[in-house]
A and B are shown apart, each in its own frame.
Chain A
């Protein structure tokens, strides 16, 4: 290669470097813009009435949505957490990773994770609204969400179980503990922080979700749900409802509430992970 061509080649790649730096700035700016604009548009309209007032057509509030969201978190996490943690324990503690059963389970979990939420919504609609005849209900939406967050819990719990050193298990067995004792007294306490973090992230998913709910809980924005069998709404659903039914200010304000909630949950998960992570290092 002549010296000139060589120089040109180097210049070309230097240009690519500039392009990637520009992309970094552009990406960060775009993501920041989403948050900043929603905050700017929404914060002026966040007020006590919107949060806790009575709903009326002229002056809507998100009180039904707040209560609905709590219902959904309660139902979905209390179903998905035991099942998800149980399957992670089975996958890490009871099986060799090459067996056929494990492969089938893994493929199922991966596939569940890749299914679009609207398809979960149709499933929930067919099962709970049509086949079981519940109509639109919190319990139907909650169970559907539980299936949806199951892969999240399984995968991250599995990771925290795998991070528990093998030597702890061997030590426990060597002392004569049963498998039961080893799992509940040694492995689970060691992995507790990771599991709690995964549950918090799952709660974040539940709060963020809306496409599932439009098909299962019915988007009834004006009434507070009066039980598990009652239809209702959620925060994310309210953002959509207000945005598409002529309440742009309320939509932005609800968006702010949702954003603050989700971001603080994610920060909580990160901080918890870090605090516990350090503690474990010190002990280990």
Chain B
């Protein structure tokens, strides 16, 4: 079992529904977010390219946050999901500094917080909140180890990229381009 998320940048319109859904589902404190939208504009008019995408923790295979954590609060669970145990976290910030995606933040309660791939929903067989609400259905979630899963098929047939692969983190959020 290896969970992965695939996001179609050609279908994303940048509506931020995923962001709001996440904040609601996970009770994210006001002023913070676990996922966010970026808009990248390449070139100058009239030759302009625009790319919209929803970003979050990449649940890396070789997660630098897990390596740097001095207490083991950051850890990888079944399915390759990187989680933080709040009461093991001392709030030192090492994981925040180590993340090339700046996907972590310090919760007002002190511990470090980030995307969990909605681990609590997966247990009930539901999709992550962001995936379930996407109005253009540009987000896909599933098991990479299963060659017949939707995400495996998409990655097999479509051109895709990951973010900052040169950081050596082996991220598991893929972007169709």
Query: Are A and B part of the same complex?
Result: no
Contact residues of A with B, CB < 8 Å?
A: none
Contact residues of B with A, CB < 8 Å?
A: none
